[in-house]
Amino acid sequence: MSVMEGKEMPLGTMRRVLLCMGLALFLAVLVMPPGPGHARTFKKPEVRLPGGYPPGFHGFGYLDRISAGDIVIEDRLLVLSPAPVFNTPQERNTTAEAFQPGKLVGYLLDSEDRILSLWLIE
């Protein structure tokens, strides 16, 4: 015969246990970061964006390197989408040659966290 056999948990104790478990679950969901598909957009407040640029980016930083399939921004390797769009203040849908290392860029991501469009800021 086990120790708990024949004993029931008092209703008040059960309510407290369920309340604590619910509160712990709520707090866990509250502090959990969103998944990659829920990237937040943001603006860098000290940078004035050229006219016609999107109001926010999924990310931005100084360009380290760009190649045919990927890009490095602030030491972070990012993958380019199959047909990325490159934009400068003077020209939309330009070529990647307009983007040189050391330039400040913003980017928008697709649903698979690949760079969909790259925007030259300065």
Question: What does the pLDDT look like over 41-89, one tens digit per residue?
Answer: 444 546 677 788 888 888 889 999 998 889 999 999 999 999 999 999 8
Query: Predicted confidence band at 102 (pLDDT cuts at 50, 70, 90)?
Result: very high
Q: Catalogue all structural domains in the chain, each as residue range(s) with its CATH number.
A: 38-120 (2.40.50)
59 close to 73: Cβ distance less than 8 angstroms: yes
Burial label, 109 (beta-carbon count in 10 A; 0-12, 13-18, 19+): buried
> Which pTM was predicted?
0.61
pLDDT in tens, 1-43: 455 565 676 778 888 888 888 888 877 777 765 554 444 444 4
